[in-house]
Amino acid sequence: MRRPQIEHWALQIVEHVEKGNNVEDDLVEVKSKWPDDHHKTARQLAGHANAARGEPILFMVGLDEGNHKVTGADKEELANWWQQVSKHFKCAPPPMQTYNVPSGSAQIVVLYFETDAAPFVVATKNGGQVESEVPWREGNSTRTATRSDLLKILVPTIKIPEVELLYAVVELIDEGDTRRVVELQAQFYVEPKSPEPVVFPNHRATATITGEDGIILEDHSPLEIRGPGLSPVYNSRESDISAKGGVGWCGGPGIVVIETQAVRPHGIGIDVKAEELSCELGVSGTNRSIRLQTRLEPKDSPQTAKLQNRRWVYGRRAVR
């Protein structure tokens, strides 16, 4: 993952914390300050990295999830803190990259860990006959890995692809006195991280559009996933993207398009403001999803204004 992508991921987490949303999951851990129980932190980090099954994880210091605010962290403390944490690993700890991410007048320290070298083993706290442990993260707690957990690490899994939102357009269409229709099209650049094709099931793709007055569209019904262009199939020398049988199939880098339409009551109001788009794409072969979020900007034209329609856009259209 490239630095801009890591920083963008971190800033999305900051935004979620400030809004009061829960952000900790299988790939993210946030702390308001540098943890001072170094053995406990090593165990938590090892469990987090083991359960990630090869996906990168973020450990962010300077975010208070409980109070929904940025507290900031001093990167100068990192070197000594990491030395105290890493010594509890029996073998090498997960490789780490560090970033300072500014947020307002404060800065957050972002630790980005690769987890491909799992399993990670830590020394037990009190020694004794059991000298080491393979920790495992489950929910927000850490326990000792079971045999089935270890098999999950050893058996190859589908890697989550790199996904970038290129373009999104939301249109509110006035169809008379009885109803209004909300239409969404979003275009993503998808780059698989392993030779295996990536499959996006339609029923695991969702989209939510929110405005200043609440949710405008919350579509948890199947979204249509296709390749670019008028045809549902897009092929190039290195890319093979198609849609068939309720799934989007991505055999190489390329553009994936999702579309949906929903009827809303006329009372939604033509003066509504769409402000934010959140998309989630599930990936077959894993229980993880790709989550993307962006702000929308109004893009009304004389034609849409004449028809009493509204339009909001993010980015630039990549394909038709």
- Strand, coil or helix: 96: strand
Inter-residue contact 186 to 257 (CB < 8 Å): yes
Measured at the alpha carbon of residue 118, what is the angle toward residues 46 and 10, in degrees to the nearest 5? 60
HSE value, Cβ hemisphere, 13 Å, CA-based, for 154: 7
pLDDT(39) > 90: yes
Measured N-to-C along each axis, helices 147-154 and 38-51 cross at an angle, to the nearest 10 degrees, of: 60
Domains of the chain with CATH codes: 3-154 (3.30.950), 162-315 (2.60.40)
Mean pLDDT along residues 36-63: 93
- Predicted structure pTM score: 0.67
Q: How distant, in Å, are the alpha carbons of 15, 29, 65, 68 from that of 22? A: 11, 11, 7, 10
Range in 42-51, 145-154, 252-261 the model is least confident about = 252-261
Beta strands in 213-253 (DSSP E): 214-219, 224-226, 234-235, 240-244, 247-250
pLDDT(319) > 50: yes
Longest dimension (CA), the chain: 79
